[in-house]
């Protein structure tokens, strides 16, 4: 009888041990599966670049540099479009100039004050003049800092009696600053000046 009891006890012990081992293996398998799934998901969020044998860091730096050049061009273009696009509407002019002044230093404010003193904005409103700007080229020099730029474009000035085309050339420098809602590219235009702004042609409008 005692022998039978010992056999039953050993059997139960063996069953318990096997059960514990099975639970441990199941728990380990679940943990490994979960960890593997998380690693796979994380790897999907990463991009690995191999560009002609170059390291990831080099390729990333080159990509950032290319984007920065595009951002600089857009900053210069956007500033000039805002500053020189005028309609016979005081609120429209003020909104455009305000947005432009966020992108530049005191030199732009000084030019704005000069235009006001010359009565430009009042003439635009009183004579129903529309002024638009077409960009021809933007030259950037990233070899020195701050970055020098030259802007070239054409102004189209529409009056009741004629249309005047003017050549516009400006220059200035770009300095890196923190990005903001009003200056998303993180550049500040400095020492901006108008190099040339002369009439190219005047076309008489037809009377209706």
Strand partners, 150: 139, 171
Provide the 10 A C-beta neighbour count for residue 161.
9
- Top-tier CATH class for 72-204: alpha beta
Q: What is the largest CA-CA distance in the chain?
A: 127
Does residue 4 sit in helix, strand or coil?
helix
Is 108:64 a contact under the CB 8 Å cutoff?
no
Q: How far is CA 196 from CA 35, 68, 171, 199, in A?
A: 65, 27, 10, 10
Q: pLDDT tier at 4 (50, 70, 90 boundaries)?
A: low
Q: How far is CA 163 from CA 129, 137, 158, 200, 201, in A?
A: 10, 22, 5, 11, 8
In whole angstroms, what is the distance from residue 186 CA to residue 182 CA? Answer: 9
Joined together, the tokens standing for residue 19 give 């059960």
Joined together, the tokens standing for residue 146 give 């701050």
In whole angstroms, what is the distance from residue 134 CA to residue 88 CA? Answer: 19
Quote the mean pLDDT of the chain. 85
What was the pLDDT predicted at 17? 66
Q: pLDDT tier at 69 (50, 70, 90 boundaries)?
A: very high
Does residue 1 sit in helix, strand or coil?
coil
What was the pLDDT predicted at 7? 63
Mean predicted confidence (pLDDT) in 152-159: 97
Mean predicted confidence (pLDDT) in 151-179: 96
Return all residues near 137 (Cβ < 8 A) that are at least 6 apart.
151, 152
What was the pLDDT predicted at 3? 54
């Amino acid at each position: 009888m005692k022998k039978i009891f010992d056999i039953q006890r050993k059997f139960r012990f063996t069953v318990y041990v096997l059960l514990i081992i099975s639970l441990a293996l199941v728990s380990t398998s679940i943990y490994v599966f979960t960890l593997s799934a998380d690693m796979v998901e994380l790897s999907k969020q990463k991009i690995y670049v191999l560009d002609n044998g170059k390291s990831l860091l080099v390729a990333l730096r080159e990509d950032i540099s290319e984007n920065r050049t595009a951002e600089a061009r857009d900053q210069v273009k956007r500033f000039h479009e805002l500053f020189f696009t005028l309609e016979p509407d005081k609120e429209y002019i003020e909104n455009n100039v305000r947005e432009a002044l966020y992108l530049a230093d005191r030199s732009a404010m000084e030019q704005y004050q000069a235009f006001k003193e010359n009565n430009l904005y009042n003439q635009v409103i009183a004579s129903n003049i529309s002024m638009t700007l077409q960009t021809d080229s933007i030259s950037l020099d990233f070899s020195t800092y701050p970055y020098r730029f030259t802007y070239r474009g054409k102004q189209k000035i529409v009056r009741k009696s004629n249309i005047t085309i003017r050549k516009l050339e400006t220059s200035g420098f770009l300095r890196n600053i923190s990005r903001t809602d009003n200056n998303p590219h993180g550049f500040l235009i400095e020492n901006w000046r108008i190099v040339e702004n002369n009439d190219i042609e005047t076309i008489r409008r037809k009377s209706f």
